[in-house]
């Protein structure tokens, strides 16, 4: 098995400030990146901004700015989003950087040289917000088939990419790599689309100046999607023969929203095939959030600001909600009420309470010193068995990009641990000096379950997990440096360690209700 993992977010348009959609993809990638590090892999995690194209040019001119001024302003919001959400990205790319021009030119030239890119004339329906051309059939009611906004008729000389040539090779590739497009339902959609026939793709614009120039063709700039997709290579130093390219290309996972799957699952592999480069191993398309049952939009004024959410609830509860609430891949509905409910009932009442209450008893009965466990009752074996199963379940779930399953498995373990404490009644054992050893074992097991839970939660709630880890493993250092398979093994809690008498990681959120 390769010991490296390369994961990417889409690069975000700088015509607007970050919203929950951006936060979602980035948080999902972060959980995946952190988990893979905990599996002992070397991870490259790239995010960044998509700064060219008509959309940016239009927004800039409306604001009386040059596109570059707009990009320079807005990019700071995306750069600030990563620490706010405790994101562990290793790279950040802006498509206006010189290194990106070099990469795009190199890729484009390869396809020009082999005849896969040729000069022709384009006529079609153009959707400016989506930067996409549509055929008569696709835009039959004068509206963009993805966003529903009006399209414009356009005709211009254009360079074309010979996408039609790649139809069979793409279908063969999907057939041989059933995990390339996930989830399954989306894979079927893409296959049906490609089977329907592929037209050559316009990959340059004459009507636009804000973009990367087509090599040796004054007046033409490269289509923003061709430019944008190439970021995944630029981020590793392409076309240089860098150690990162060697170690991390092809990408393991491009995480995207369902609306931009086609670009990643059809166009991008075709561009790479044409250039003779290895293809990514996977593209996962997640669903979209509505807000309180409604489509999120500026005009409705219901756009969820991730900075706001972090300010109100902290990064951990927000991250937790995003990945716990919906089956990853499906659409979901965001509501602060539900976020608070989940954070209170699962993080505060279950996980936080298990830790704090057990530490409290350890303080009271053992002055905070971890006792050595003695013997194993059937109930103890059930709990330790459950911890082992949870580790395996999280591993499987992460392999399937099913964050909700990973999290529900951890919460299940915590629930079992709380029930165990309830059933063992340490407060009653404490009254009988003959049961001191048993009392010690029960507290040990409860704390050990909390330790395993803290570890397995680290990809999702990194700050809270670190606090729990510091409490349970004094001097243990960063939890993210732990190997899940080793540190997740039952019995890691060190007898004799001196633990704090309380630790509140998830304070209950007051609703005012």
What is the nearest approach in angstroms of ligand MSP to the Cβ of residue 231?
Answer: 6
Helices 20-38 & 306-325 angle (0-180, nearest 10): 60
What is the nearest approach in angstroms of ligand MSP to the Cβ of residue 496?
Answer: 48
Cβ(442)–Cβ(424) under 8 Å?
A: yes
DSSP state, residue 300: T
95 vs 418, beta carbon nearer ligand MSP: 95
Both tokens assigned to 16: 């607007």
What is the nearest approach in angstroms of ligand MSP to the Cβ of residue 396?
Answer: 25
15 vs 445, beta carbon nearer ligand MSP: 15
Buried b (16+ CB within 10 A) or exposed e, 194-231: beeebebbbbbbeebebbbbbeeeeebbbbbbbbbbbb
251 vs 256, beta carbon nearer ligand MSP: 256
Residue identified by tokens 């990064």 is: 315
3-state helix, strand, coil in the chain (%, to 5): 50, 15, 35
In degrees, rounded to 5, the angle at the alpha carbon of residue 405 between the alpha carbons of residues 404 and 411 is: 90
What is the nearest approach in angstroms of ligand MSP to the Cβ of residue 414?
Answer: 28
70 vs 457, beta carbon nearer ligand MSP: 70
**Omega before 183 within 30 of 0, i.e. cis:** yes
Sign of the Cα pseudo-torsion (139, 142, 144, 145, in order) = negative
24 vs 444, beta carbon nearer ligand MSP: 24
Give the H/E segment covering residue 22.
helix 20-38
126 vs 366, beta carbon nearer ligand MSP: 126
Q: Which residue of the chain is nearest ligand MSP when measured via CB?
A: 257
In degrees, rounded to 5, the angle at the alpha carbon of residue 436 between the alpha carbons of residues 432 and 439 is: 100
d(CA 505, CA 470): 11
Residue 130: which of 120, 142, 145 has the closest Cα? 145
What is the nearest approach in angstroms of ligand MSP to the Cβ of residue 491?
Answer: 41
CB atoms within 10 A of CB 84: 17
Binding site for ligand MSP (CB under 6 A): 10-13, 21-22, 24-25, 50, 228-229, 231, 256-257, 259-260, 288-289, 296
d(CA 285, CA 109): 30
What is the nearest approach in angstroms of ligand MSP to the Cβ of residue 305?
Answer: 13
What is the nearest approach in angstroms of ligand MSP to the Cβ of residue 258?
Answer: 6
What is the nearest approach in angstroms of ligand MSP to the Cβ of residue 132?
Answer: 10
238 vs 366, beta carbon nearer ligand MSP: 238
DSSP state, residue 371: P
Cβ(466)–Cβ(479) under 8 Å?
A: yes
246 vs 333, beta carbon nearer ligand MSP: 333
**What are the DSSP calls for 376-388, one per residue?**
--HHHHHHHHHHH
- State the alpha helices, DSSP H only, in 294-376: 306-325, 336-342, 353-366
**What are the DSSP calls for 125-194, one per residue?**
EEETTTTEEE-TTTTTTSB-TTT--B-EEEEEEEEEE-GGGGHHHHHHHHHH-TTSEESHHHHHHHHHHH
264 vs 342, beta carbon nearer ligand MSP: 264
166 vs 289, beta carbon nearer ligand MSP: 289
What is the nearest approach in angstroms of ligand MSP to the Cβ of residue 15?
Answer: 8
Sign of the Cα pseudo-torsion (113, 119, 122, 126, in order) = positive
21 vs 440, beta carbon nearer ligand MSP: 21
DSSP state, residue 509: P
228 vs 457, beta carbon nearer ligand MSP: 228
d(CA 57, CA 65): 9
d(CA 310, CA 462): 14
């Amino acid at each position: 098995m390769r010991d490296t993992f390369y994961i990417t977010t889409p690069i975000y348009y700088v015509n607007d400030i970050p919203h929950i959609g951006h936060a979602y993809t980035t948080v999902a990638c972060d959980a995946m990146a952190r988990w893979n590090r905990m599996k002992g892999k070397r991870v490259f995690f790239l995010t960044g901004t998509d700064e060219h194209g008509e959309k940016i040019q239009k927004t800039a001119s409306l604001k009386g700015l040059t596109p570059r001024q707009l990009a320079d302003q807005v990019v700071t919001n995306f750069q600030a989003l990563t620490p706010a959400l405790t994101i562990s990205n290793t790279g950040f790319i802006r498509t206006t950087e010189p290194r990106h021009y070099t990469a795009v030119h190199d890729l484009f030239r390869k396809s020009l040289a082999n005849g896969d890119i040729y000069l022709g004339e384009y006529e079609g329906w153009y959707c400016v917000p989506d930067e996409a051309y549509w055929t008569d059939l696709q835009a039959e009611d004068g509206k963009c088939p993805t966003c529903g906004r009006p399209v414009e008729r356009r005709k211009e000389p254009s360079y074309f990419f010979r996408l039609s040539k790649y139809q069979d090779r793409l279908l063969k590739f999907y057939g041989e790599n059933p995990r390339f497009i996930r989830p399954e339902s989306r894979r079927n959609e893409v296959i049906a689309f490609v089977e329907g026939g592929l037209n050559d793709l316009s990959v340059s614009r004459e009507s636009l100046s804000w973009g990367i120039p087509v090599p040796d063709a004054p007046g033409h700039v490269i289509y923003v999607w061709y430019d944008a997709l190439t970021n995944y290579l630029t981020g590793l130093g392409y076309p240089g023969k860098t150690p990162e390219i060697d170690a991390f290309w092809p990408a393991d996972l491009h995480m995207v929203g369902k609306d931009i799957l086609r670009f990643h699952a059809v166009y991008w592999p075709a561009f790479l095939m044409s250039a003779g480069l290895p293809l990514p191993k996977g593209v996962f398309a997640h669903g979209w959030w509505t807000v309180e049952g409604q489509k999120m939009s500026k005009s409705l004024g219901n756009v969820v600001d991730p900075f706001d959410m972090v300010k109100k609830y902290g990064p951990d509860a927000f991250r937790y909600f995003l990945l716990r609430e919906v089956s990853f891949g499906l659409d979901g509905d965001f509501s602060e009420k539900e976020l608070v409910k989940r954070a209170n009932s699962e993080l505060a009442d279950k996980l936080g309470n298990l830790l704090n209450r057990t530490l409290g008893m350890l303080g009271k009965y053992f002055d905070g010193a971890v006792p050595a466990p003695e013997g194993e009752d059937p109930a103890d074996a059930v709990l330790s068995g459950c911890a082992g199963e949870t580790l395996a379940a999280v591993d499987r779930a992460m392999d399937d990009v099913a964050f909700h399953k990973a999290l529900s498995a951890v919460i299940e373990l915590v629930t079992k641990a709380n029930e165990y404490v309830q059933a063992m009644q340490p407060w009653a054992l404490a009254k009988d000096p003959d049961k001191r050893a048993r009392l010690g074992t029960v507290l040990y097991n409860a704390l050990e379950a909390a330790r395993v839970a803290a570890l397995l939660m680290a990809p999702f709630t990194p700050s809270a997990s670190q606090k729990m880890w510091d409490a349970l493993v004094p001097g243990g250092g960063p939890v993210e440096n732990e190997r899940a398979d080793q540190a997740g093994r039952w019995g890691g809690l060190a007898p004799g360690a001196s633990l704090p008498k309380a630790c509140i990681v998830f304070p209950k959120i007051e609703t005012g209700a």
